[in-house]
Copies of this chain bind each other. A is one copy, B any other.
Amino acid sequence: MSFSPLIEQLITSLRCLPGVGPKSAQRMAMQLLERDRDGGRQLSEVLAAAMDGVGRCSQCRTFTEQDTCQLCLSVKRNRQLLCVVETPADVLAIEQAGGFNGCYFVLMGRLSPIDGVGPEQIGVDKLMALVQEQQVTEVIMATNPTVEGEATAYYIAEQLQSRGVIVSRIAHGVPLGGELEYIDGGTLAHALAGRKVIES
């Protein structure tokens, strides 16, 4: 015994969403059918439009439905400063923090030979071409502080340094508002090693 075939299909399809198990998929299906059919219809339309319409920015590789994204088109951004991140969500996080006025390059992943992700998949060639084309003077590596993120940062840094470009890495240390007592050892060691002289 189960729900009718169409409802079962809906529950199964909802499970393609991350973090949605059988119970929440069932709850979602019931909620849409009982109380929000218009919302469900709209979600269906937007999903179809986005799955087919969203491609990648021809310059920075982030997701966009245009040929070039708004940030790359903006005349207010400093094209000689490039920040390399793993995902489009990272671009948003840095933009929301404010204070960065350069352009971005989105790897759409990180080097991970085990999963078959090499330099080609994360667009290293495209990055090198962009650096040359825009006469970039500094590249900030803002990949995640994971083993793979670090490896990616150092691989790209090596490639760029041989072309005479300044490469920097975002600072790692104790987050603002964090309490030393609860910070992991790796981060603390980083924070100590990366200490700065307080200038008088």
Mask for A1-30, Cβ within 8 A of B = 1, else 0? 111111101100110111100001011111
| A137 CB within 8 Å of chain B | no
In the complex, what distance in Å separates the CA atom of A172 from the CA atom of B140?
63
| A180 CB within 8 Å of chain B | no
| A41 CB within 8 Å of chain B | yes
**Number of A interface residues, CB 8 Å?**
57
Chain B residue contacts of A54, Cβ below 8 A: 4, 6-7, 33
Chain B residue contacts of A46, Cβ below 8 A: 6, 9-10, 13
A18-77, CB < 8 A from B: 18-19, 24, 26-34, 36-37, 39-54, 63-66, 69-71
Binding site for B on A (CB under 8 A): 1-7, 9-10, 13-14, 16-19, 24, 26-34, 36-37, 39-54, 63-66, 69-71, 87-89, 92, 95-96, 108
Q: Enumerate 17 A-B pairs (CB-CB under 8 Å) in ascending A order.
A: A3-B92, A4-B65, A5-B65, A6-B53, A7-B88, A13-B42, A16-B39, A16-B43, A19-B27, A30-B87, A30-B88, A30-B89, A32-B47, A37-B51, A41-B52, A44-B45, A45-B48
Given A30-B87, A30-B89, A44-B51, 18 new contacts (CB under 8 A): A3-B88, A7-B54, A7-B65, A9-B49, A10-B50, A13-B39, A13-B42, A13-B43, A16-B32, A16-B39, A17-B28, A17-B32, A18-B28, A30-B88, A33-B54, A33-B63, A41-B48, A44-B44
